[in-house]
């Protein structure tokens, strides 16, 4: 199922909602405000950058929606799953989620240039869920292939061939 992110028009997968909206959220947001206020001043505020790998990537996307009005943060995810529902669960034919800046969302999809396979995690089907922004293919050897800004960067059928071993391997062994 899905939960609506407070003060937004966005719905996210229930488990990722629960991962961000915990007892620690208030402390995190207080410390984030203190950090931002201390680094740039009112005239030149600092950018907020959220990142995560795998399920942590989904948590970063949810946080970016919750913090959108205040910071419009950058998001860098590594092997993240589809996280949010762009429509209302009650009106599937109209996109309503406006609390995502496609220009500031970078989703790194792990690849292996030797085996020529892709991480399947970002492409797993999740009942209309998706991510938007910029897809970047990354092979762990320092090679990046930017795919551009897309309304929905995930191809419906994903990329072939895939191997789940890439998801686990690059999470722990990126050079």
Beta strand pairing call for 49-53 and 133-138: unpaired
**Model pLDDT, residue 153:** 46
Helix (H) or strand (E) holding 164: helix 164-173
Tokens linked to 9:
């028009």
**Model pLDDT, residue 123:** 72
* C-alpha to C-alpha distance for 40 and 133, rounded to whole angstroms: 26
Residue 121 DSSP code: G
What predicted TM-score, i.e. pTM, was given to this entire model?
0.84
* C-alpha to C-alpha distance for 3 and 13, rounded to whole angstroms: 6
Buried b (16+ CB within 10 A) or exposed e, 47-73: ebebbbbbbbbbbbbbbbbbbbeebeb
> Which residues on neighbouring strands pair with residue 69, listed in sequence order?
none
**Model pLDDT, residue 128:** 66
**Model pLDDT, residue 79:** 85
**Model pLDDT, residue 175:** 46
**Model pLDDT, residue 167:** 65
Radius of gyration of the chain (CA): 16
Mean pLDDT, 10 residues at a time, over the chain (175 residues)? 90 92 95 88 82 92 94 92 76 76 87 74 71 80 76 54 64 48
């Amino acid at each position: 199922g899905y939960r609506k992110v407070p003060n937004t028009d966005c719905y996210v997968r229930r488990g990722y909602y629960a991962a961000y909206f915990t007892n620690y959220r208030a402390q995190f947001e207080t410390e984030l405000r203190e950090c931002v206020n201390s680094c740039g001043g009112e005239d030149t505020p600092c950018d907020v950058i959220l990142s995560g790998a795998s399920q942590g990537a989904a948590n970063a996307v949810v946080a970016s929606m919750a913090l959108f009005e205040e910071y419009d943060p950058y998001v860098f995810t590594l092997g993240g799953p589809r996280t949010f529902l762009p429509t209302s669960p009650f009106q599937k034919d109209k996109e309503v989620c406006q609390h995502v800046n496609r220009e500031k969302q970078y989703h790194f999809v792990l690849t292996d240039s030797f085996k020529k396979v892709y991480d399947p995690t970002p492409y797993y089907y999740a009942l209309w869920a998706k991510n938007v922004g910029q897809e970047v293919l990354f092979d762990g050897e320092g090679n990046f292939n930017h795919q551009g800004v897309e309304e929905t960067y995930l191809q419906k059928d994903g990329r072939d061939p895939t191997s789940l071993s890439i998801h686990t391997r690059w999470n722990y062994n990126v050079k």
